[in-house]
Copies of this chain bind each other. A is one copy, B any other.
Amino acid sequence: MALIVQKYGGTSVGDPDRIKNVARKVKAAVESGDQIIVVVSAMSGETDRLTGLASQMQTRPNSREMDVLLSTGEQVTISLLSMALHDIDCPAKSYTGSQVKILTDDQHTRARIKDIDAQKIQHDLDQGKVVIVAGFQGVNEKGCITTLGRGGSDTTAVALAAALKADECQIYTDVDGVYTTDPRVVPEAKRMEKITFEEMLEMASLGSKVLQIRSVEFAGKYKVPLRVLSSFKEGPGTLITFEESEVEEPIVSGIAFNRDEAKLTVTRVPDTPGIAYKILGPVSEANIEVDMIIQNTGTDGHTDFTFTVHKRDYDKALEILQETAKAMGAESVTGDDKIVKVSIVGVGMRSHAGVASTMFETFSKEGININMISTSEIKISVVIDEKYLELGVRALHTAFGLDAEQAIQE
């Protein structure tokens, strides 16, 4: 008998029929002999409906009240799923985040989980019940309702799996696993049977939208085996594992890309100590997150400084940067929001030289100019013109042998 946490997202519980479908999947898992905890999101569309109501009340809705409002979304789903399970004679009990004390800090709309009281849940599981927990929400020390922000339900599922020492945390979504790259861009993309935790972390942070990075980090911290599966299609999905693979790793496991970034460059900054701080300080004070940062060794006492931000922050960052550049005596500020970041990821890179040059060679052959390069131990990211996205990703997919059947990691 294994203890499994299953998480179903908004699309998987989007209407009454889909909730019934989830109930059947849960019942099947119970009948196979496992103990099941289910975490659900709000029905798709519900969060938008609630946010719309809030924005009619207050221009910038009070964050404490926003959490009171948004948390109703999952509360509706847990009760409906529990009814659907009762209807097919599968005993179940629903809990809000407050009821099972998913204790968080005080950061409304983006709270972090501090602790979970597993007692009630364990008691119900021991009585043979399915326990349904509202994702995305918690409660702070003062008893106020909090929410965990985007992708919060994944985090709830992983946190519950950690707290209850579950054997596996299954994330049900509308895709049937993690792919070597986005199948909408490369039809030859293949589902991976397994991916290492480190690779998944890079894939998530590099723009693969299958799993939210916070939940992957959380899984890594507590060594929770994660599996990504489809709610609509049978199949084993992709296991995110901590095991060292016994078979030989492919050099590159997957290709991620992110269309949401824009780049900014300050040219000919006088090269004095503290440039990065002087340029990025005002940007981060404006609550703008910076992703890639590149500073070249300077020549003739000047250097160019480039970084990327989310597209939605582009205009604001540009404005801030123009002030900064003036104050620093830099030549000019340039920017481009028609870019895309493409990354190759794989633990195999560690022991293989020449991966970077294969990547650059591939781009060169296709005539794709590289704007920025950034590397880590298991990934290489480059920024290119967004019009080359499909061409670049397809070429890399082929170059690293991901098109072929045997390239799937097993």
Contact = CB atoms under 8 A, between A and B. Distances in A.
A313 interface: no
Given A72-B72, A72-B75, A98-B98, A65 B83 contact: yes
A53 interface: yes
Interface string A56-71: 1111011011101101
Contact of A68 (B64, B75, B84, B145): B75
Given A16-B53, A53-B16, A87 B58 contact: yes
A75 B76 contact: no
Contact of A69 (B19, B76, B99, B143): B76
6 contacts: A57-B87, A58-B83, A59-B87, A62-B82, A62-B86, A65-B79
A54 interface: yes
A94 B66 CA distance: 11
Interface string A78-95: 111011101100000110
B57 A83 contact: yes
User: DSSP majority for the A interface?
Assistant: helix
Contacts of A86: 58, 62, 65
A51 to B, nearest CB: 11
A50 interface: yes
A78 B67 CA distance: 12
A346 to B, nearest CB: 45
A87 B82 CA distance: 37
Contacts of A94: 65, 68
Contacts of A16: 53, 56-57
Given A50-B76, A72-B72, A20 B83 contact: no
A170 interface: no
A324 interface: no
State the 3 A-B residue pairs at the shortest beta-carbon distance, nearest first.
A57-B83, A69-B79, A72-B72
A238 interface: no
A181 interface: no
B68 A54 contact: no
A75 to B, nearest CB: 5
Contacts of A82: 62, 65, 68
A173 interface: no
A96 interface: yes
A99 B82 CA distance: 23
Contacts of A98: 98
Contacts of A76: 50, 53, 69, 72
